[in-house]
Chain A
Amino acid sequence: MMNADSMTSIVTQLNALTDGLFLLSCFAMVAMRQILACLKIFIIQACLLAVSACLLGYLYATEHLFWVASITVAAKVVIIPWLLRKSISDDVYARREVSQVLNIPTSLLIALGLAIFAFALTSPLLPATAGPAKVNLPVGLAGLFIGAFVIAARREAVPEVIGILAMENGAFLAGISIAPTLSLIAELSAAFDGLVVVLVFGLLTRRIYKHVGTTMVGNLTILRED
């Protein structure tokens, strides 16, 4: 029979492993060419966030994190992908190459630089006793930065929305480790996923596709001043 101590250490390691895979999924998001692949990676990433939330919820014994996990699964694994698939026709997803500003190896190296920057930014903040936050906080910040980079590097509407969601995944990956006792954390997550992403971006993408006839939002440059 395992004693509580070694159970804690295994849960901590599993959480760290989840974080490692999370970081990898961030990179994968940068590397993917197809929009559909990007969406799938995002779903995996959301699942990893939910797993980490459950592990930390067990570790800190707070029910808020289980709520975060269930909201994440409901919103990001089921509703949002369904909505994104529904609002834009399939041929957009089937298109092979997402036009990108940079080529993929360069993008990956930039993403790597961002991850190292996140690490450098957060490591002075972490006391030795921080526990799981030692991995979650830097990986979360890296996810945030890489998500922002995805938004900057892509020109299609759906990958940009996925980039925003990836940023949010990063923020919550850090949040569940540093603020597990914040009583409103589940509401924060629900507010973001439900209101902003589903309503604003779901409707906006749909309308842009309907009225403008394209989802290449990067090519919308009527308002750019020379």
Chain B
Amino acid sequence: MELIAMLVILAVAAGLCLIPTESDVPAPAITVLSGIAVAALAVRVALKAATGTPVVAIPNWLACDSFGALIVVLVSYIGVGTSIFSWGNMKRPAGKGGASRLRRYYCLYNLFVMSMLAVPMFTQISLVWIALELTTLTSVFLVCYDKTPEAYEAAWKYAVLTTMGAIVALFGILLLYWGMRSAGGGLFTWDGLAGVMPNIPPGILKTGFILILIGLGSKAGMAPLHSWLPDAYSQAPVPICIFLSFVETATIPYVIFRLWPGLAGPVGATTGTWLVFFGLLSAGIAAFLLIQVKDLKRLFAFSTIEHHGIILVAAGLGGTAAGYSAAYQIMTHMITKSFCFFAVGAVLLVVKDQRIASVRGLVRSFPFAGVALLLGALAVAGAPPFAVFLSEFSVLKAGLTSGQYLAVGLLVLFIAISFCAIMYHHSRMAFGRPDGPVQAPAAPISYVAPLFLTAVPMVLLWLYMPGPLNSLLRLAGATMGR
């Protein structure tokens, strides 16, 4: 029941945001309230799922098991922070129709969150694909919110590449359906597919999987198909960057790893190798691109690509421990990345230029943003005592115990390179002498609250893991670990 309620709340909120009013308050207020309500429901779902029994709303259509619940609780938790942040960050655009543009932003925002929640809730694979398409549909016009030529260029690239990927993935999904029918399966749901997967001819299974991997990979910015991603990040409003990042490192990996349980034997070994290959490629290319990056938001875009790679490698290593580490990595990265983008938003309060070269001496001129940015950089690069360090460490440990030294060695190398690159850029931005006197504003509450909301788990997970969360991660890891 909670699942339906969550989707309905967001749909209603999206509709309410469009009601024309004079003031700019109702739309963000509705968004924050709906975000909190959805988060509360998501926690309930997660607590139920943590016991090991899936939450079923409509049998065979709408259900949520432990892995899905992890994604749901994650997106709704970050959603609370992002909705508060949007309130402060998104100003009414100048000119005629600015108010209605802002209302449309909140409407699309709610729909975007709804489509992201729908992906882990749907059990029919065709519907999952439609929900993924909905995430594109709702986010394209958020990316070009600024209506500049650059924004349209980014939105166009984003739309073209992700749609191409979606069609390729659709082809793979249809192939899997064909395989399932020929193996005598019934309903085209995750469970129905997993049940007959051992009987599907390996050729069809492999081709279908690689098509889905490449297709969804292009939507997730997987290495050779990542060119749209930094462009979109550099143009989209900051809250949207967070959700784009969520789609790339949580939603898409979720869909790819859902196919995992049935891929056993030689097919599983080959597909695992592909995941490790594409993961290392993403992490490697992102690590080297991080060195030359010139734009603050592009920096975090490349960091997202790197983490997407790490997550793919983690799942591709195989085994329950690796699955656990992948789920863990999905969670820690997403929380940390939202923290980073909130910090970027704070930086952009005083620096109107996104170029790294134009940001100097933040710790002195605007300590609130400077410290937040530095902490975020340390956390996302994987320094202790932050949660990403633990999750990356668990990935490496899982790889070493299963004896895949080459993959682990390369991964360590890429993580080290990106650590150095991220810290190099950030030390230049945080320290040094500011270019001129800067009027440091008081830190607004709409920036402090989201930063606090994400900083708590980012640090606390290092010390303490709540019981239900741990069992959620374990169950999700078991799903991925075969």
Contacts and interface: CB of A to CB of B under 8 A. Distances in A.
A191 B204 contact: no
A187 B126 contact: yes
B155 A196 contact: no
Contacts of A127: 182
Contact of A204 (B149, B159, B181, B207): B159
A125 B137 contact: no
B56 interface: no
Interface residues of A, number: 48
A148 B152 contact: no
A200 B149 contact: no
A184 interface: yes
B140 A200 contact: yes
A116 interface: no
A200 B164 contact: no
Interface in A150-186: 151, 157, 160, 164, 167-168, 170-171, 174-175, 178-179, 181-182, 184-185
Interface stretch (B30-38, B166-174, B422-430, B468-476): B166-174
A128 interface: no
Interface stretch (B17-25, B128-136, B344-352): B128-136
B234 interface: yes
Interface string A180-209: 011011011001100110011101100110
Given A125-B207, A179-B178, A223-B231, A164 B160 contact: yes
Given A171-B174, A220-B153, A184 B141 contact: no
A72 B150 CA distance: 34
B294 interface: yes
B244 to A, nearest CB: 15
Given A125-B207, A196-B163, A208 B156 contact: yes
A18 B347 CA distance: 59
B274 interface: no
A200 B159 contact: yes
B167 A167 contact: yes
A179 B177 contact: yes
B77 to A, nearest CB: 28
Nearest to A213: B149
A222 interface: yes
Interface in B185-243: 188, 201, 203-204, 207, 231, 234-235
B153 A167 contact: no
Contacts of A211: 147, 149, 152
A1 B127 CA distance: 45
B149 A125 contact: no
Contact of A201 (B133, B149, B159, B181): B159
Contacts of B181: 179, 181
Nearest to B150: A222
B174 A220 contact: no
Contacts of B182: 127
B11 interface: no
A144 B167 CA distance: 8
A171 B149 contact: no
B340 interface: no
Contact of A222 (B140, B153, B201): B153
Given A195-B133, A225-B294, A121 B160 contact: no
Contact of B137 (A160, A164, A200): A200
Contact of B168 (A121, A133, A144, A225): A144
Nearest to B159: A200
A144 B171 contact: yes
B113 interface: no
Interface string A206-226: 011001100001001111010
B322 to A, nearest CB: 30
B49 to A, nearest CB: 26
A151 B160 contact: yes
A204 B147 CA distance: 11
A124 interface: yes
Given A179-B181, A220-B153, A200 B163 contact: yes
A143 B181 CA distance: 24
B150 A223 contact: yes
Nearest to B234: A223
A179 B150 CA distance: 41
B320 interface: no
Contacts of B141: 203-204
Nearest to B133: A196
B207 A207 contact: no
A171 B167 contact: yes
Interface of A: 121-122, 124-125, 127, 133, 140-141, 144, 147-148, 151, 157, 160, 164, 167-168, 170-171, 174-175, 178-179, 181-182, 184-185, 187-188, 191-192, 195-196, 199-201, 203-204, 207-208, 211-212, 217, 220-223, 225
Given A184-B126, A222-B149, A223-B150, 20 more contacts: A122-B207, A125-B201, A133-B178, A147-B167, A157-B156, A164-B167, A167-B167, A168-B167, A178-B175, A185-B126, A187-B126, A188-B130, A195-B137, A200-B159, A204-B159, A207-B147, A208-B152, A211-B149, A211-B152, A222-B153
23 contacts: A121-B207, A125-B201, A125-B203, A125-B204, A140-B171, A164-B167, A167-B164, A167-B167, A171-B167, A171-B168, A171-B171, A174-B171, A174-B174, A178-B177, A178-B178, A179-B174, A182-B188, A185-B126, A188-B170, A191-B133, A192-B170, A204-B152, A225-B292
Interface of B: 124, 126-127, 129-130, 133-134, 136-137, 140-141, 144, 147, 149-150, 152-156, 159-160, 163-164, 166-168, 170-171, 174-175, 177-178, 181-182, 188, 201, 203-204, 207, 231, 234-235, 292, 294
Nearest 7 CB-CB pairs, A to B? Answer: A178-B178, A184-B126, A220-B153, A175-B174, A223-B231, A179-B177, A191-B130
